[in-house]
Structure 1
Amino acid sequence: MTMPTTLAQHPVARLRARAQLLALRASFAVQDLVSPARASARALDLWCTVPSGAGRRKDYRPFPGEVASTRTSAGHEVVTESWGSGPVVYLVHGWGGWRGQLGAFVEPLVAAGHRVVGFDAPGHGESAPGELGAGKGHIMELLAAFEAVSTEHGPAAGVVAHSLGCTIASLVVHDRLAARRLVLVGPPADFSARTHEFAEAVGFTERTRSRLETTMEQECGRPLSAFDLAPLAVGDRLPATLLIHDQFDKEAPYRVSEELAAVWPTATLLTTLGLGHQRILTDPEVVAAAVGHLTSTTGA
């Protein structure tokens, strides 16, 4: 999901972004009243627009790895990069991200005797666009990308995932991939809750939001509740998991990890202060904790 933000710090840029958001809300208010069907189609297009913030394009890879590519079941290209040798640890980026964002984990994992495999989902990073074309994407493409990569590279000693990648990683590990450990950094709120937040942000009512949710479920071939994280942990179907979340994360509410830690029997929570949603990926203590969790031979 993406929408106009005020990420830029320059006052003129902030005013321009605010004006754009107000105009967007006004137009959605009219469409919501006159034609909820058209409003929901426009909302879906906005939802599927891949964000392009500078923080999501930062590259923290310590040195070049072996670059290759694979294809999803739908035939879309997925660029992969691997470093080192040994038991595999996968890096799973989030919405609008790419493999370079998680590059700070590469060197210590390689030093610990692991082969690290990162990838770019269709429409992300260096991969070709997906079925919706340039600048667009959807969650099923991210899911198919990790499925394809993990099928090619095999069982995992661990997975490090960020943001929406936490949902992707948890689903793939729950359904098909044998993995010994998970690290989930800044996991997102449930999809249904996010559609309500989206509706409030851009200015349409429940009649449009419910149509949007129905269309999303049809496109995904499953209810949005199938992407909820908490139910995946029922019955010990997920391995020992370290949740890492900043208390002041503005993109993924900290309460998500608090609630998950309370109901997830194999999870523990590491809380950070002031690292936000992006800088948390390069903090030395966060990286050390993640690597320590993945390489530990004891319980979570």
Structure 2
Amino acid sequence: MRKYLFLIQKNLLAGYLNSLVYVSPSSAAHRAFLIFCKVRKGRILPQQESYLKEARLSREDVAGHQLQTYHWKGKGPKVLLIHGWESNTFRWRNLIEPLRQADFDIYAFDAPAHGASSGKYLHVPLYTQCVEHLVQTFKPDYLIGHSVGGMTTLYHTYRHPNPEIEKIVTIGAPSEFHEIMENYQNLLGFNDRVLNALDGYIQNRFGFGIRDFSTSRFALEIDKRGLLLHDRKDAIAPYHASVRVNQNWKGSELISTEGLGHSMHQAEVNQQIVEFLKTG
């Protein structure tokens, strides 16, 4: 029944956008962008509350949003954790424990429209603003990002090459924005006229087109050490994304896994991350 309702909604949205673009391309593009950026889940669930409550730190004002931050104190280097789409800081629980055992000083936050932070929408430029604010506030030595959080981490490093950040870790991160938008087009079923209008909208708003945003190209200008973890059978973010980034990022290492999925919460993954951060 839910699948049937989704198909009805999808067809209605596609028909609406495909018609609107002939009347007002800018309105169709704006509407398509809002649908794309709308966050539908990822708020803190009751069973997640007790774990996160102990670590709540401050609420930071960034770009009109209130961001909930978290802190697990340690005496070692500072780590900032950047979660993925429709998720929140709780997703890091399995990594936080070995990081704490290694005495890292751990910071994390809920992205806009996620967890305990305010908002309804999220996109990478906004997420990048948030990361930069928290980098300036907490002064982390290392950044770790999962999925779109990993994509944001690389874009942030490209835009803000902070010399104080020594290492970067990405987990199951996509790299090519045009692939994401093509998947979005296929999901909703809108036509190329809408996609072209959306491309123009993004260009005017953010200063780059859909095909301009590529972390594999951004990686050419990153001079930090990096660890990329990606499962060959990742059904959410294609494995070739990290392969391309690794090929262009001279200071990076790619660890490929088999059958660990997109989330990659497994102990072996977390141990590899901790060891990478600990080594000189």
Classify the TM-score, shorter chain: 0.7 to 0.9
For the aligned residue pairs, the C-alpha RMSD in angstroms reads: 2.7
Structure 2 CA distance for aligned equivalents of residues 88 and 116 of structure 1: 6
Q: Could you tell me which of 139, 146, 151 is aligned with 1:162?
A: 146
Number of residue-to-residue matches in the alignment:
276
Structure 1 CA distance for aligned equivalents of residues 7 and 44 of structure 2: 20
TM-score by length of 1: 0.81
Give 2:87's aligned residue: 97
| Cα distance change, pair 46–232 in 1 and its aligned pair in 2 (3 A) | same
Q: Deviations over 1:118-160 (max 9, x none)?
A: 011222210122xxxxx2233222111111111111141x211
Q: Could you tell me which of 256, 271, 274 is aligned with 1:288?
A: 271
Structure 2 CA distance for aligned equivalents of residues 266 and 246 of structure 1: 20
**Contact 1:50–1:96, Cα closer than 8 Å, also in 2:** yes
Structure 1 CA distance for aligned equivalents of residues 109 and 273 of structure 2: 19
**Contact 2:44–2:88, Cα closer than 8 Å, also in 1:** no
> Is 1:266–2:255 an aligned residue pair?
no
Instruction: Return the offset for 1:232.
Output: 2.4
Structure 2 CA distance for aligned equivalents of residues 190 and 76 of structure 1: 27
| Cα distance change, pair 258–59 in 1 and its aligned pair in 2 (3 A) | farther
Q: Deviations over 1:144-189 (max 9, x none)?
A: 1111111111141x21101111122123334243222211011113
Structure 1 CA distance for aligned equivalents of residues 53 and 270 of structure 2: 17
Instruction: Return the offset for 1:224.
Output: 4.5
| Cα distance change, pair 76–288 in 1 and its aligned pair in 2 (3 A) | same
Structure 2 CA distance for aligned equivalents of residues 246 and 56 of structure 1: 27
| Cα distance change, pair 59–162 in 1 and its aligned pair in 2 (3 A) | farther
What is the percentage of aligned positions where both structures have the same residue? 26
**Contact 1:93–1:163, Cα closer than 8 Å, also in 2:** yes
**Contact 1:93–1:162, Cα closer than 8 Å, also in 2:** yes
| Cα distance change, pair 181–59 in 1 and its aligned pair in 2 (3 A) | farther
Give 2:100's aligned residue: 110
| Cα distance change, pair 204–81 in 1 and its aligned pair in 2 (3 A) | same
Q: Could you tell me which of 101, 111, 130 is aligned with 1:145?
A: 130
| Cα distance change, pair 123–55 in 1 and its aligned pair in 2 (3 A) | closer
TM-score by length of 2: 0.87
Give 1:183's aligned residue: 169
Give 1:257's aligned residue: 242
One-letter identity of the residue aligned with 1:295 = K
Give 1:192's aligned residue: 178
The secondary structure found in structure 1 opposite 2:80 is strand
Structure 2 CA distance for aligned equivalents of residues 208 and 71 of structure 1: 34
Structure 2 CA distance for aligned equivalents of residues 234 and 189 of structure 1: 13
Instruction: Return the offset for 1:190.
Output: 1.5
Instruction: Return the offset for 1:114.
Output: 0.9
Instruction: Return the offset for 1:223.
Output: 4.2
Give 2:2's aligned residue: 13
**Contact 1:81–1:118, Cα closer than 8 Å, also in 2:** yes
Tell me, which stretches of 5 or more residues in structure 2 are unaligned?
Answer: none
Runs of 4+ in 1 over 6 A off after TM superposition: 53-58
Give 2:196's aligned residue: 210
**Contact 2:29–2:197, Cα closer than 8 Å, also in 1:** yes
One-letter identity of the residue aligned with 2:171 = V
Structure 1 CA distance for aligned equivalents of residues 169 and 203 of structure 2: 28
Structure 2 CA distance for aligned equivalents of residues 27 and 224 of structure 1: 22
Q: Deviations over 1:84-119 (max 9, x none)?
A: 222101101123222111222111112112101001
